[in-house]
C-alpha cells in the first residue's frame, strides 16, 4: 500500500529491478531448494528477550541511507558485526538493498559466517523470492514493511517466513499500519520513528505508537537513536528492544555504544485495563 511518487515507491521500484536480475541468475526453484536445505534458523525472539531485564539491541551494519547518504565505508562488514556481537548485541541487522543503502547479500553471507547471534535481512521485501533468498543466505529474521505491502501479500510473506523457520520483524509507522500488524498476529512489531514515505523523523510519535502495542508481541523501536537518552526514551514508551544503525557506524566507538545501549533497563508495557497482571 504505497502512494505514487513517495520515496518508498522509488526505492521499491529499484528493488524490483535488481530482484529480476538475480532471478535471471538463480531460478526460484533453485533458491527455494537452497532455502529449504539451509541450517535451522536461530530464535531471534529469545535472543531479544534475553533475561528480560535490559533492552534488546539489533545492531546494524549500515553504510548509507536515503536520508543521510554515505555514513561509513565498512569494508569488512563481518568485522563490525563481530564487534557488535562480542559486546552484547542481541542480533545483527544487515542491509542488503544496494542502491540507497550500499548493501548486498554478500554482506549477509559474511556476517552469518562470523557471528552466532541471530541475523536480520533488512531490505524492502516485496516478493516470496526474497524470503527464500534470506533463508538461503542464513538469515534468521526478515523485515516486512507494512507500508510497502497490501494485506494479502503481507500475510503470504509472513506465513512463508514462518514456514521456513524464520521470524518476521513487521515494521509500522502509523496507527493504521500498527492495527494491520496486530491483525496479522505479528510476534515482533517494529515502530519506525522515520516515515519512509517522507523520511521525516519523529521519536515522540513512535513512542505513542509503542504504547499501543499490547503485552505479548515484542515491541521494537527503530530509528532516531543517537544516544543512550534516545534508548531510554524508547524504554519509557515500552519498547522491548531497539534497532540502531547510524549511531553505531558514525560515532567511532561501536563497542562502547553497544555496551551502553544494552545496559538500559527494560520497563515493559502496562497490561490493558482490567487484565490480570
Q: Which residues are catalytic?
A: 60, 62, 122, 171, 192, 222-223
For residues 183 and 213, the answer to whether their CB atoms sit within 8 Å is: no
CA proximity to 59, closest of 266, 256, 267, 268 = 256
229-243 core/surface letters (b: 16 or more CB in 10 A; e: else): ebbebbbebbbbbbb
- Which residues partner with 95 through β-bridges? 122
Cα four-point dihedral sign 191, 197, 199, 202: negative
* Dist CA 34 CA 25 (whole Å): 14
CA proximity to 166, closest of 35, 38, 32, 41 = 41
For residues 91 and 47, the answer to whether their CB atoms sit within 8 Å is: yes
Residue that has been written with the C-alpha cell 509503542 in this structure: 210
Amino acid at each position: 500500500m504505497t502512494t505514487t511518487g513517495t520515496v518508498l515507491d522509488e526505492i521499491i521500484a529499484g528493488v524490483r529491478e535488481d530482484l529480476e536480475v538475480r532471478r535471471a541468475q538463480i531460478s526460484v526453484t533453485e533458491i527455494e531448494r537452497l532455502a529449504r536445505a539451509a541450517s535451522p534458523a536461530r530464535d531471534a525472539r529469545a535472543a531479544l528477550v534475553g533475561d528480560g531485564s535490559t533492552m534488546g539491541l539489533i545492531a546494524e551494519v549500515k553504510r548509507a541511507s536515503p536520508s543521510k547518504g554515505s555514513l561509513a565505508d565498512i569494508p569488512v562488514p563481518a568485522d563490525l558485526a563481530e564487534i557488535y556481537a562480542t559486546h552484547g548485541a542481541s542480533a545483527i541487522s544487515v542491509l542488503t538493498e544496494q542502491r540507497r543503502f550500499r548493501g548486498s547479500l554478500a554482506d549477509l553471507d559474511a556476517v552469518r559466517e562470523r557471528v552466532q547471534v541471530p541475523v536480520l535481512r533488512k531490505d524492502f521485501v516485496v516478493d516470496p523470492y526474497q524470503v527464500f533468498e534470506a533463508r538461503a543466505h542464513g538469515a534468521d529474521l526478515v523485515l516486512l514493511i507494512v507500508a510497502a505491502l497490501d494485506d494479502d501479500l503481507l500475510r503470504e510473506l509472513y506465513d512463508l517466513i514462518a514456514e521456513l523457520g524464520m521470524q518476521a520483524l513487521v515494521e509500522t509507522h502509523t496507527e493504521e499500519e500498527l492495527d494491520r500488524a496486530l491483525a496479522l498476529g505479528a510476534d515482533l512489531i517494529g515502530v519506525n520513528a522515520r516515515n519512509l514515505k517522507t523520511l521525516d523523523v519523529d521519536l515522540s510519535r513512535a513512542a505513542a505508537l509503542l504504547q499501543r502495542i499490547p503485552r505479548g508481541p515484542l515491541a521494537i523501536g527503530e530509528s532516531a537513536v543517537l544516544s543512550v537518552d534516545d534508548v531510554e526514551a524508547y524504554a519509557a514508551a515500552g519498547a522491548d528492544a531497539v534497532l540502531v544503525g547510524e549511531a553505531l557506524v558514525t560515532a567511532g566507538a561501536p563497542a562502547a555504544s553497544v555496551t551502553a545501549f544494552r545496559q538500559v533497563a527494560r520497563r515493559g508495557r502496562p497490561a490493558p485495563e482490567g487484565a490480570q497482571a
